[in-house]
Amino acid sequence: MSTRFLLAGTAAARGMTLGRARLVQPSQLVVDERPLGENEIESEVERLRHALQVARDELRVLREKLHGALAREVGEFIDAHSMILDDPELTSGLYSMIRQGRFRAGAALKAQRDRLVAAFDAIDDPYLRSRREDVDHVIGRVQAVLARDTTPAERQIASRVGSILISDTVAPAELAHLSDYGVLGVITTGGSPLSHSAILARSMRLPMVVGAHEALKRITDDDLLLLDGTLGEIVVHPAAQDLVRYRQYQREQARSAEALSRLKHERTLTRDGIEIHLFANAEMLADIAQARACGAVGIGLYRTEFLFMQRRELPDEEEQFIAYRDLVLAMAGAPVTIRTLDLGADKTDSTGLALAQEPNPALGVRGVRLALRRPILFATQLRAILRASSFGPVRILVPMVTSNEEIAVVRALTEECARELRSSGHEIADHFELGAMIEVPAAAIALPFLLRQLDFIAIGTNDLTQYTLAVDRNNDELGALYDPLHPAVLKLLAQIISTAERAKKSVTLCGEMAGDTRYTALLLALGLTGFSMHPSSLLEVRQAIAGCDRSALRKQATALLRAQTRAGIEKVLERMRST
């Protein structure tokens, strides 16, 4: 009997699943390093040509099979990968390695991959870093075709059904493909819960743990695993008590799915009858469908930067307009908050828009700072958003704001775009609402001044926590220090909410905290009435709110804000949970 052990990682997409391990190590494939004999060269060239063609065909089929909302978002990643496969620099290098260097196809691919990755690693450029991962995935795909020369493709796919995939990284396109073939969960040794793949896994409800550094070393193919994407834990060779826990989880899931589905079209009311507004965060159209199905009152945050990622050309005004218009139409009259481009820091694009090198990117040219340095690009986006506003209520949200001057420039530019659009005969709404993300301590502290120019605000606790505590949100070494319950963060939150309330400006909170029921009572205690979250959390938060007495919680806010330590805060929270 194999011995049970635990591996820890970071929770990236919720849910528990049981399955057999399937290891994928594209960068560590064992390849045949023996040099080719003279008479083997041409057949090896042919073998590589065939593998490249099969990989291309697979991507094409995969692209065609995508349907609905995934087609656009994931399609772009697949196109990027197809382009790499067609890149003559990659392929001609491979052929000459076989012909002149006597490499076997697999060894040539590995050498080419290592060479490219070393070159990318040497240049500290975020654009190239994102391409490095793409190259890795593309080469992994061709390697896989070569490796299955002797294995029927069906057998490979069948062996993935019911499995939990373990890899160093997983590309978004692979994720879509894998769930089609019945992969139940994903573990990566690197990565962060804020990666695009993690966001996609959450949208697809595929449990995922990232940063499980030991996984590839300590797990072997076919090991039975219990993956807990909620706790960020992997049980290898689960024992009887784990299986009991899993069955209990399944029963609870079934019960809560039933209870939650009854809440789909309910209003969100606290136990004492106060209405709370639940909005959805969205990155892709699938999120919109889910938001509607769960009765979100609108979109509180649409992250437009995803339109700019994983592609070489910038989206023009027309393409952006169509994306925003479709979003507005899909929400059928409910308000849609479109956030202007928030590239920079960890959100790098592939168009070369974000600055290539900055000494301190999280404190660098990010969000509105980048937009104001590229006024033509920014105006293109504003025009597209304004044009979409004739199809339903649209609010414009600006990220990474720190000063009144920035807001004044954005407002002037938006008004100028509106004037131009009207005079060239475009239909746009008579009035637009302009809001700011409050995610930098400076904006929180200067809020009374900023609010004079703003129609609404959205609190970005993901960044507000990072910048208040000086803890990089993507650095898994500092995970424990990244604490939204730090007294300084709570004080700022309380201050932001009460300042906006006094100024009679609408405020929502759209960071990850909003969708986490551990914080629901706390946020209600601080006076929050607008929450925006990934739609998959919406019903649970509605249910948690229904169990809370808001006026009793409000009375505990002072005790919460007086607590000087984490333990003190936990104690007040404990009391709140039983309120």
Query: Any idea how long the chain is?
Result: 579
Spacing of C-alpha 345 from chain mean position: 14
Cβ 253 vs Cβ 298: under 8 Å: no
Counting DSSP H helices and E strands in the chain, the numbers are 24, 16
Match 């499995």 to its residue by tokens.
163
By CB under 6 A, is residue 337 in contact with ligand PEP?
no
- Residue 102's closest CA among 44, 28, 29, 146? 44
Fill in the per-residue mask, 510 to 549: x = in contact with Mg ion (CB under 5 A), - = not in contact: ----------------------------------------
By CB under 6 A, is residue 439 in contact with ligand PEP?
yes
By CB under 5 A, is residue 439 in contact with Mg ion?
yes
541 binds, among Mg ion, ligand PEP, none (CB under 5 to 8 A by kind): none
Where are the strands (E) in 130-275, listed by range? 163-167, 185-188, 208-210, 224-228, 233-236
Site stretch for Mg ion (CB under 5 A), options 192-200, 284-292, 459-467, 496-504: 459-467
Least distance CB 145 / ligand PEP (angstroms): 37
By CB under 5 A, is residue 460 in contact with Mg ion?
yes
By CB under 6 A, is residue 283 in contact with ligand PEP?
no
Tell me which residue has its CB nearest to ligand PEP.
Answer: 460
By CB under 6 A, is residue 287 in contact with ligand PEP?
no
Least distance CB 265 / ligand PEP (angstroms): 27
Residue 16: DSSP 8-state:
E
Site stretch for ligand PEP (CB under 6 A), options 27-35, 283-291, 314-322, 455-463: 455-463
Cβ proximity to Mg ion, 74 vs 443, nearer residue: 443
Cβ proximity to Mg ion, 19 vs 484, nearer residue: 484
Cβ proximity to Mg ion, 283 vs 463, nearer residue: 463
CA dihedral sign, ordered 123, 128, 130, 132: negative
Sheet with 185-188, edge to edge strand ranges: 5-8, 233-236, 224-228, 16-23, 163-167, 185-188, 208-210, 10-13
> Is 417 one of the annotated active-site residues of the chain?
no
Least distance CB 242 / ligand PEP (angstroms): 33
**The amino acid at 476:** D
Restricted to residues 158-177, the positions that interact with ligand PEP (CB under 6 A) are none
Crossing angle of the two packed helices 317-330 and 375-388, in degrees rounded to 10:
30
C-alpha 399/C-alpha 406 separation (Å) is: 11
Site stretch for ligand PEP (CB under 6 A), options 155-163, 199-207, 373-381, 458-466: 458-466
461 binds, among ligand PEP, Mg ion, none (CB under 5 to 8 A by kind): ligand PEP
From residue 414, alpha-carbon distances to 252, 259, 378, 382, 392 in Å are 49, 45, 9, 6, 18
Residue 123: DSSP 8-state:
S
Cβ proximity to Mg ion, 349 vs 439, nearer residue: 439
Tokens of 517: 């029921």
341 binds, among Mg ion, ligand PEP, none (CB under 5 to 8 A by kind): none
Cβ proximity to ligand PEP, 93 vs 441, nearer residue: 441
511 binds, among Mg ion, ligand PEP, none (CB under 5 to 8 A by kind): ligand PEP
228 binds, among Mg ion, ligand PEP, none (CB under 5 to 8 A by kind): none
By CB under 6 A, is residue 463 in contact with ligand PEP?
yes
Match 């709570």 to its residue by tokens.
490
Tokens of 395: 């609010």
Restricted to residues 58-87, the positions that interact with ligand PEP (CB under 6 A) are none
Cβ proximity to ligand PEP, 344 vs 527, nearer residue: 344
> Is 196 one of the annotated active-site residues of the chain?
yes
Query: Phi/psi at 186 (nearest 5 deg)?
Result: -135, 140
Q: Given candidates 460, 484, 515, 527, which one binds ligand PEP under the rule CB under 6 A?
A: 460
Side-chain half-sphere CA neighbours of 568 within 13 A: 13
Residue 294: DSSP 8-state:
T
Least distance CB 511 / Mg ion (angstroms): 7
- Residue 256's closest CA among 278, 276, 282, 230? 230
**The amino acid at 364:** G
Fill in the per-residue mask, 296 to 315: x = in contact with ligand PEP (CB under 6 A), - = not in contact: -----x-x------------
Size of the site for ligand PEP (CB under 6 A): 10
From residue 388, alpha-carbon distances to 71, 339, 343, 485 in Å are 22, 13, 22, 38
What 3-state class would DSSP assign to 442? helix
By CB under 5 A, is residue 44 in contact with Mg ion?
no
By CB under 6 A, is residue 342 in contact with ligand PEP?
yes
Active-site choice (81, 137, 196, 277): 196
By CB under 5 A, is residue 305 in contact with Mg ion?
no
By CB under 6 A, is residue 444 in contact with ligand PEP?
no
**Quick one: 404 exposed, middle or buried, by C-beta within 10 A (0-12, 13-18, 19+)?**
middle
Cβ proximity to ligand PEP, 189 vs 340, nearer residue: 340
- Residue 87's closest CA among 24, 25, 134, 148? 134
Q: Given candidates 223, 406, 463, 512, which one binds Mg ion under the rule CB under 5 A?
A: 463
C-alpha 531/C-alpha 510 separation (Å) is: 6
C-alpha 403/C-alpha 441 separation (Å) is: 11
Active-site choice (81, 137, 294, 510): 510
By CB under 6 A, is residue 202 in contact with ligand PEP?
no
Cβ proximity to ligand PEP, 214 vs 516, nearer residue: 516
Restricted to residues 493-552, the positions that interact with ligand PEP (CB under 6 A) are 510-511
Where are the strands (E) in 143-214, listed by range? 163-167, 185-188, 208-210
Summarize as ranges the residues that interact with ligand PEP (CB under 6 A). 301, 303, 342, 439, 460-463, 510-511
Q: Which residues belong to the active site?
A: 196, 510
